[in-house]
Every structure is written in structure tokens, then in C-alpha cells.
């Protein structure tokens, strides 16, 4: 650390230096590189020997430095029902109907503490930006509680105002206790946008609109939500083509396949990204690509629920933005973006052969691909000068790395487990030496334990 008395006035605020390899983006890597930060932005990157003077220095000696990973699909509140035994071996629809009654107990305190703990977990896994799909609303202002947690931490957060309006009474899956009327959803969606959405470059908080799925809201709400998103210039998110049961449901209910229904409701747009997208046929995939729709690939969730996996290689070749999502903590049971990126590598090779996916491909999906899904390709997902200063210094134990001498990026995903040694968001260090720098975390964990026990035992 440089002494404050000797720091010149033009010193950068933060310098991460001596990286074994600095990955600026998929086109540029710098052995021994450094990255300088001022005002929450990357100001310069360079090779060893050209470092600027800094007020604070982080040594990345022997470690890989990458842009922060970006999570494009999550249900953070579900960490309150993680690994819930009665649900773990069911199909998607079985799993949902088992857990909906538990989630009916969600309130502001539960939404806030689950978000605080969930964001700490994301930071430890190298995630610097996350969206969240909160679609159960048994009580008001749950999205506000999540955003409050993000502001307290300094986490970059894209909250989505999710919704469900078709309960079991209307031929849907959820109980009435977690659904709302179309009018309630639209009014609160507009309120949340006005209260919290920041459209400016470098924003820490943004809002998107996110009806849960084709089978959980009315067609009228899907259409009206797309119109509202266009009026306020915010993004759209939903689950699409996740499960074969969804195909059957849409055919029986709407007389068409999910992608056709999606198109009919005005969602086929480059402001939209969807979760999973496992079952589109070739023509549907081409139509999604032509419209610029993004896909959140959720490899661990797909494997645990056993419902297939997205055709990531085909999607990327067609030009679809493809990002990484960890999905909900009650289906995936973790929120490690490193693990999701590794599983994207493994699934890609399992599906398409050894040439179908490299570690750099997987990293590009988890950074630049995810940034495209969130409409943030300019300022997130890379470390070029002008980008948001969101980065990770990765730590792998020397035993795990023994013999891995030729390629730090391949070793990062192949030789793990890796953890974030340092996680920086907007120039602020939020994980230091592998531990979250969050003064409220111990209290949040105690409260989380009480609420999770009450929610599960009250089922």
C-alpha cells in the first residue's frame, strides 16, 4: 500500500496489478497486466512496468483477473427454501406446486434478508452484477426490499418486477395467495420503475418487467407489460420453452407453441431476454435470433431438474446474445457463477463434442454475453477503458494448479474449484482475501436462519 503522504494528486484510486493474466475481453489478454480505476470506471489497462501511482493497490500476483461475471437469471428469495427435501426429486411442475405454499409466507423482511445473503454469495462466486426474477408477491414492496439490500451492499442489481396472475382457480399452477390481478401488477410495475430505475450509463440499479411464464399470467398482461416496457424503455424478461409440459400447456390453452404465443404478445424484441429456452425448434430459434432476443443459459438448474439444456452453440452461431444464469436457490441450491460457467463448459462439450466449447467461450458467455442480455454491452462484461470497474481476482489453491502451466484461463475452469479472492464492484472492494466485506452479513445470516426455519416448518 502506498503511503497517503506520498501519493500524488493525480494518483488513480485503485490499481490491481501483477496479474498472471489480465483478461480485458475476449480479444485482449495481458500477461502480468494491471487495471487502473477512478470514479468507479476503468481508466487504463497495461503491461508490467507501466503502472500508474495509486492510492490503493491490490496484488494479483500469480492469479487470473477477469471482468466480473454477470448473472442473467435468479430467484434470490428461494435461498430460504434451499434443498427442500419434499421437492428435490420432482419435475418442474411438481417442484413448483410443492414450494408455492411455502413462498406464500414471503414478506419484506424475508425478501430483504434473502437478497442480502444471496448477494454476498454471488460476490463470493465472482458475480458483480445480477438480475433477479421475483415473481411471487403475497405482500407489497418486496422488490423494494431487494433493492434496498443491493444499495446497502453496493451491488450492481437489475431487479425485475415479476408477476403471476393465473392461480389454480384460473387453470394455473400457483395458489391464489401468491398471485395478483393484472391491474395490481401493472400499477406496481409502473411504480417500481418510477421509484428505482436508473437509465444512466454505469447505473447500479435498473428495473425490468418480468411476468413469470406463459402459463402463469394472462395474455392481456403479457401484452400490456410489453407496451409498458416500451413506454418506459426498460427491458423484458420471462421463462420461455423451459419444459415439455409447457409445450403441452400452451397447445391446450392457447392453441400454439410457447414461442408463437410469445411472439403474439409483442415480446419478440431486442429488449427481451428469456430464461432457459430449451425447446424451440430450428425455425423458432432463427426467429428469436432475428429479433435479437437474449437467452439466460442455466446449466446447473437444467441438470438438476433434468429437463434438457439450451442449444448454446447453435444460438451463438445464429447471433443470439447468450448469458449465464444460476437460477433459483431452491432448484440449483447455490449461487456460484464460477460453477455455472464451468458447467456451461462441461455441458457444451458434452452436447457438441470437445470442439464445441472452450473455457474462453464460457467466460465470454458469462461476461460479454450476459452484458448483452441485460442491455449493458457498452459498460459491463469487459475491462476496456471507460467500462464499469467490476472485476474479479481469482484464487485457485496451488495444489489444484500443480502442473497447470500453459493456460491460466483453461486452468481456471478445469482445475477448480476457484473462488473470488477479490471482487470489485464500481471500484469498491466487496470481497477481500476470499471473504465478503459486508458489515451486516453476520446479522443477516442469523435472521435468515430464523425466517427459513419458520417458512419450512410452517408448511
Question: Is pLDDT at 138 greater than 90 in this prediction?
Answer: yes
Check: CB of residue 215 under 8 Å from CB of residue 262. Answer: no
- Judge whether residue 290 has pLDDT over 60: yes
pLDDT at 2: 46
Lowest-pLDDT range of 31-35, 298-302, 383-387, 425-429: 298-302
Q: What is the pLDDT of residue 249?
A: 84
Residue 69 has pLDDT above 90, yes or no: yes
Mean pLDDT, to the nearest integer, of 91-108?
Answer: 91
Closest to 162 (Cα-Cα) out of 72, 237, 80, 246: 237
Residue 1, pLDDT score: 45
Q: What is the arithmetic mean of pLDDT over 349-367?
A: 96
Nearest by Cα to 111 from 72, 182, 159, 154: 159
CA distance 421 to 392: 7
Would you state the pLDDT for residue 304? Answer: 87
pLDDT digit string, tens, across residues 72-81: 999 999 999 9
Averaged pLDDT, 340-344: 98
What proportion of the chain, given as a percentage, has pLDDT over 70?
99
Mean pLDDT of all residues in 222-227:
98
pLDDT at 459 over 60: no
pLDDT the model gives residue 343: 97
Which pLDDT belongs to residue 57?
Answer: 98
pTM of the model: 0.97
Residue with cell 500524488: 8
Q: What digits encode the pLDDT tens for the residues 110-126?
A: 999 999 999 999 999 99
Residue 151 has pLDDT above 60, yes or no: yes
Q: Domains, the chain, ranges and CATH? A: 4-67+380-436 (2.30.40.10), 69-373 (3.20.20.140)
Q: Find the mean pLDDT for residues 356-368.
A: 98
Among the ranges given (218-222, 299-303, 433-437), the one the predictor scored with the smallest mean pLDDT: 299-303
DSSP track, 57-109: EEE-BT-EEEEPEEE----GGGGGGTT-GGGTTS-HHHHHHHHHHHHTT--HH
Question: 133: helix, coil or strand?
Answer: strand
Alpha-carbon distance of 310 to 289, in angstroms, equals 14
Q: What pLDDT, on a 0 to 100 scale, did the predictor assign at position 14?
A: 98
Alpha-carbon distance of 112 to 115, in angstroms, equals: 5
Is 267 in contact with 236 (CB distance < 8 Å)?
yes
State the average pLDDT for the chain.
95
The closest alpha carbon to 210, from 131, 114, 119, 116, belongs to 131
Give the E-state strand segments of 196-297 in sequence order: 205-211, 235-240, 272-276, 294-297
Give the contacts of 114 (CB within 8 A, at least 6 positions apart). Answer: 76, 77, 78, 79, 80, 448, 451
Q: Are 24 and 45 in contact (CB under 8 A)?
A: yes
3-state helix, strand, coil in the chain (%, to 5): 40, 20, 35
Amino acid at each position: 500500500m502506498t503511503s497517503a503522504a506520498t501519493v500524488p494528486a493525480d494518483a488513480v484510486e485503485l490499481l490491481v496489478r501483477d496479474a498472471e493474466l489480465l483478461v480485458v475481453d475476449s480479444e485482449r489478454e495481458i500477461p502480468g497486466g494491471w487495471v487502473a480505476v477512478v470514479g468507479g470506471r476503468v481508466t487504463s489497462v497495461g503491461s508490467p512496468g507501466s503502472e500508474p501511482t495509486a492510492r490503493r493497490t491490490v496484488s494479483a500476483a500469480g492469479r487470473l483477473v477477469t471482468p466480473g461475471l454477470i448473472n442473467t437469471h435468479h430467484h434470490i428469495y428461494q435461498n430460504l427454501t434451499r434443498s427442500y427435501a419434499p421437492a428435490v426429486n420432482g419435475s418442474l411442475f411438481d417442484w413448483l406446486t410443492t414450494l408455492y405454499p411455502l413462498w406464500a409466507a414471503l414478506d419484506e423482511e424475508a425478501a430483504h434478508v434473502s437478497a442480502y445473503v444471496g448477494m454476498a454469495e454471488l460476490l463470493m462466486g465472482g458475480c458483480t452484477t445480477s438480475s433477479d426474477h421475483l415473481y411471487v408477491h403475497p405482500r407489497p414492496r418486496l422488490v423494494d426490499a431487494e433493492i434496498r439490500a443491493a444499495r446497502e451492499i453496493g451491488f450492481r442489481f437489475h431487479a425485475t418486477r415479476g408477476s403471476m396472475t393465473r392461480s389454480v382457480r384460473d387453470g394455473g399452477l400457483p395458489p391464489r395467495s401468491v398471485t395478483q390481478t393484472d391491474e395490481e401488477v401493472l400499477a406496481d410495475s409502473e411504480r417500481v420503475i418510477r421509484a428505482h430505475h436508473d437509465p444512466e450509463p454505469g447505473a447500479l440499479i435498473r428495473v425490468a418487467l418480468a411476468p413469470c411464464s406463459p402459463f402463469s399470467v394472462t395474455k392481456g398482461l403479457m401484452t400490456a407489460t410489453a407496451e409498458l416496457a416500451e413506454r418506459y424503455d426498460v427491458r423484458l424478461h420471462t421463462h420461455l420453452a423451459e419444459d415439455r409440459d409447457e409445450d403441452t400447456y400452451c397447445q391446450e390453452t392457447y392453441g400454439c407453441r410457447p414461442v408463437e404465443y410469445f411472439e403474439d404478445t409483442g415480446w419478440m424484441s431486442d429488449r427481451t431476454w428469456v430464461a432457459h429456452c430449451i425447446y424451440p425448434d430450428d425455425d423458432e430459434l432463427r426467429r428469436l435470433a432475428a429479433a435479437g432476443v437474449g437467452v439466460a443459459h442455466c446449466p446447473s438448474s437444467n441438470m438438476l431438474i433434468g429437463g434438457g439444456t439450451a442449444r448454446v452453440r447453435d444460438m451463438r452461431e445464429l447471433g443470439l446474445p447468450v448469458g449465464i444464469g444460476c437460477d433459483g436457490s431452491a432448484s440449483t441450491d447455490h449461487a456460484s457463477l464460477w460453477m455455472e460457467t464451468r458447467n456451461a463448459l462441461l455441458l457444451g462439450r458434452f452436447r457438441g463434442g470437445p470442439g464445441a466449447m472452450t473455457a474462453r467461450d464460457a467466460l465470454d458467455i458469462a461476461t460479454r454475453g450476459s452484458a448483452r442480455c441485460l442491455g449493458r454491452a457498452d459498460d459491463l462484461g469487459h475491462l476496456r477503458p471507460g467500462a464499469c470497474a467490476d472485476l474479479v481476482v481469482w484464487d485457485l489453491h496451488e495444489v489444484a494448479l500443480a502442473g497447470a502451466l500453459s493456460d491460466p484461463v483453461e486452468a481456471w475452469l478445469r482445475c477448480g474449484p476457484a473462488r473470488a479472492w477479490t471482487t470489485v464492484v464500481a471500484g469498491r472492494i466487496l470481497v477481500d482475501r476470499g471473504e465478503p466485506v459486508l458489515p451486516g452479513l453476520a446479522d443477516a445470516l442469523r435472521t435468515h436462519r430464523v425466517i427459513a426455519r419458520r417458512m419450512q416448518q410452517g408448511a
